[in-house]
Amino acid sequence: MQIAILYHSIHHHNTERIAKAMAEGIGARALTLTEARHERNPQWDLLGLGSGIFFGKHHPQLLQFAREYPTLPRHCFVFSTAGLRFLAPLWHRHLLGILRGRGCEVIGQFCAPGWDTVGPLKYIGGIHRGRPAPRDDRRAAAFAQQMVTHGAQRPAEICSADP
C-alpha cells in the first residue's frame, strides 16, 4: 500500500512533528507540499493532509493543493495542530469539503494541540508551549495505524490528545 502524509508547517513546526510521527508509525513518507508537487505519477492508496490552523482553517497553500493537485487517491484523512483543538470540527470543514467535492472519501480526522503564539497570544508566550509532546506523537502514530488497518471499513472520530 502506497501511503503519503502531506503537511505544511511553518511557525513552530508543530504539524511537521505530528506528520513525521504518523509516517514513522506506519512506514509512510512524510512530504512537504513542495516535495509532493514534485512527485512523478504518485500511486497513493491513502493520503493524509495536514497543517496548522490559520484563522479558522487549514493553511491556504494546503487548501490550494487539495483543490488543484491532479490526482488524489480515493481514501484520505485530515489532520491539524491548533491552539484550540476542541474546535477541530469547524477548522476541518473547509478541507473536508474540498476533498469530498473531488470524490475523496475522508476516513478520519485528527487534531493535536500545538504551541500557538498568533496575535495577542504572543504577548503572554502563547498557549500549549511544549506541545506537541511525546504523548501527542504516540497518539498521532496510533491514529495513523487505525487509518491503515480500519480506515476504509469505518470512519474515525476526531482524535484529540489530552489537555
Mean pLDDT of 46-65: 91
Distance CA(150)–CA(83), nearest Å, equals 28
- Ordered structural domains, the chain, with CATH: 3-160 (3.40.50.360)
What pTM did the predictor assign? 0.83
Q: Is the predicted pLDDT of residue 21 greater than 90, yes or no? A: yes
The model's pLDDT over 105-159, given as tens digits with 9 standing for 90+, comes to 999 999 987 656 455 555 455 555 666 778 888 999 999 999 998 765 544 444 3
CB-based contact 147:48 (threshold 8 Å): yes
The model's pLDDT over 87-99, given as tens digits with 9 standing for 90+, comes to 767 789 999 999 9
